[in-house]
Amino acid sequence: MVDVIPAPVSTGRTPSGSTRLDAGTALRAGPGTEGVARWLRTALGASTGLPFPEAADGPHRIELGIDPELPPEGYRLVADGHPVRIHGGSAAGVFWGAQTLRQLLGPDAFRRAPVRPGRDWDLPAVTVEDGPRFGWRGLLLDVARHFMPKEGVLRYLDLMAAHKLNVLHLHLTDDQGWRIEIRRHPRLTEIASWRARTKFGHRASPLWEQKPHGGYYTQDDIREIVAYAAERHVTVVPEIDVPGHSQAAIAAYPELGNADVVDTTALSVWDTWGISSNVLAPTDTVLRFYEGVFEEVLELFPSEFVHVGGDECRKEQWRDSVTAKKRMAELGLADEEQLQSWFIGHFDAWLSARGRRLIGWDEILEGGLARNAAVSSWRGYGGGVAAARAGHDVVMCPEQYVYLDHRQAPGDDEPVPIGFVRTLEDVYRFDPVPPGLTAAEAAHVLGTQANVWTEAMEDGARVDYQVFPRLAAFAEVAWSRLPAPEDRDFADFERRMTAHYARLDALGVAYRPPTGPRPWQKRPGVPGRPIEGPPPNM
């Protein structure tokens, strides 16, 4: 058996035993695969100590090539002797084949330097035919609540690539911090990127970390992240949250808030969790400000999609605001839900005019969905189903299944327990396409995404604990053509995870062990917000 995660479409073993890689093994890159060869030589060269010199011919080699007969992200890996061949329908397919090659070499192939210098490396004699089920296989990292330094983001791009995930959704702004340099609005990083203190645990916790927290990515940091991702065939989708979750921006620029309702000059970057009532004012000043923000964002991120949030926008201030009521009257809007729809619709048209596509959380359905918008369905399947039936594209990320900040087990040992119990098996039995959609409607499901919200994750080790090993199960759901959830062979997945834990160890991932948290992973006395019982099927 081949212990590859995510599971390939098909594998075949041959009787020839194994294929040896040694100091004489060359690497031949066909046209269009030069970037994959560069990555493979760097990654495997570091872990094996082998030079993998370039070679135009000669039998003892790894050969990379494009085969237009294969699906764009599909690949065929043949290791039944030399040459070892990895062919893909595109460079991306070849890259995913190279990731499988690394898994076949064993966990030491994931290290940054040889731990057994001078050894030869044996590949099992195998043929792998593979390709993904979904084109959008995503991970959201919330870097606004707790900032993740650039090196951490680059590390997560490597971890995503190792699991054949291809979309990094960066949640860059929220009430608790602004994380991207916008040169025309310097106070967004001078003021909005730092908060004076931080709530430790759930928002009901009495505990505080009494020191400033923050940070941001310079525009060159973003360029580096985007380029690093592209080398690994990962697209970075930025999120600038509007019109809610905006207190940090208003603290830096009080004119963005509802100044006829509250004293916006007295606001600071929020230091606790929850949903702030301080939302953007529906004014032309705000529209022009955020158009400037998005102009710089588009220069940095070449992604087709730009996420605008649109979730959890509290309406109290709009209901009390003379300015908001005047805008509603001018536009002939019936209520504040339609006012939010107008706000999102403005940026849908603005982005469409620049060749981009807006995507937002499923609240953007309320009051009417913008013409070209796609939906991230987080409150269950319902929003995604409604959008797909209306002809809009959808990314399925229901919190009841793939919010990795939710706790992994019952009991008091789980650190800062949040939400429903979502075990490794629960994630493995998630299906991004709910029953009831027609084939045409299901075609609007672009794929799926696991979301990591970091209110209760104060550092990278806590993020690792919440994300792994469940991200491995999610990756298989997103990539592999699995049976119906109830028919999936979780025992086989657990067996393959035995090998995968060794890879995670080699990568330095502080995952949750199957037996429960290690002593240093616990957070005794830090309250969370556990929800008892099974999650609702929404």
- The residues assigned a catalytic role are 174, 245, 312
64 φ/ψ angles, rounded to the nearest 5 degrees: -110, 140
**From CA 312, how far away is CA 202, in angstroms rounded?**
18
Here the contacts of 262-271 (C-beta below 8 Å, separation 24 or greater) are 262/317, 268/195, 268/196, 269/175, 269/176, 269/177, 269/191, 269/192, 269/194, 269/195, 269/196, 269/214, 270/175, 270/176, 270/195, 271/176, 271/195, 271/196, 271/197, 271/198, 271/199, 271/208
Are the beta carbons of 129 and 4 closer than 8 angstroms?
no
Q: Where are the alpha helices (DSSP H) in 244-315?
A: 247-252, 284-300
Tokens of 149: 């330094």
**From CA 309, how far away is CA 313, in angstroms rounded?**
9
Are the beta carbons of 257 and 321 closer than 8 angstroms?
no
- Which residue from 26, 30, 47, 29 is spatially nearest to 38, judged by alpha carbons? 29
The residue with tokens 């529209």 is 287
Burial of 14 (0-12, 13-18, 19+ CB in 10 A): middle
Q: Which amino acid is at 391?
A: G
Q: What angle do CA 159, 165, 170 make, to 5 degrees?
A: 80
**From CA 245, how far away is CA 192, in angstroms rounded?**
12
Are the beta carbons of 75 and 54 closer than 8 angstroms?
no
**From CA 476, how far away is CA 232, in angstroms rounded?**
18
- Which residue from 123, 115, 143 is spatially nearest to 47, judged by alpha carbons? 115
Strand pairing class (445-452; 10-21) = unpaired
Is residue 81 left, alpha or beta, with left meaning phi > 0 and alpha meaning psi from -120 to 50?
left
- Which residue from 310, 315, 312 is spatially nearest to 347, judged by alpha carbons? 310
Task: Give 451's DSSP letter.
Answer: E
- Which residue from 405, 401, 382, 429 is spatially nearest to 534, judged by alpha carbons? 401
As a whole number of Å, the end-to-end CA separation of the chain is: 38
